[in-house]
Amino acid sequence: MKTYDTWLAKLRKRASPSGALSQWAEQLSRKQGGDAGMWREHLREILEGDEKASLDLILDLDLISAPVRKESGEDKQIPLW
């Protein structure tokens, strides 16, 4: 499944900074229940390819792991009044 493999490669890259996996596990435990330790283990299994993520988990991980967009300080739209 090429699309899943591409997603997984991106997720592995996003998980590389120290502490990212723990943060994700904490957020997933609040959103989906369970404890952070269980989620950390589950995420490791997914990142190692031992387990496949469900569609719901894929969507949640995309939201959690997405890079933060930088707000541009300049608003290019002209105000109407």
Q: In degrees rounded to 5, what are phi and psi of residue 79?
A: -65, 145
| 77 within some domain | no
| 61 within some domain | yes
Torsion-angle region of 57 (φ positive above 0: left; ψ -120 to 50: alpha; else: beta): alpha
Q: H helices of the chain, where?
A: 2-14, 20-32, 36-47, 55-65
| 27 within some domain | yes
Q: For position 68, what pLDDT does the model report?
A: 74
Q: How far apart are CA 69 and CA 78, in angstroms?
A: 22
| 53 within some domain | yes
Nearest to 58 by CA among 1, 20, 15, 4: 4
Mean pLDDT of the chain: 88
Taking only the tens place, the pLDDT of each residue in 36-58 is 999 999 999 999 999 999 999 99
Instruction: Please report which confidence band the pLDDT of residue 69 belongs to, taking 50, 70 and 90 as the band edges.
Output: confident
Number of domains in the chain: 1
| 79 within some domain | no
Domain that holds residue 22: 2-65
Which is more confidently placed, 50 or 80?
A: 50
| 11 within some domain | yes
| 28 within some domain | yes
Q: Is residue 62's pLDDT more than 90? A: yes
Taking only the tens place, the pLDDT of each residue in 25-41 is 999 999 999 999 999 99
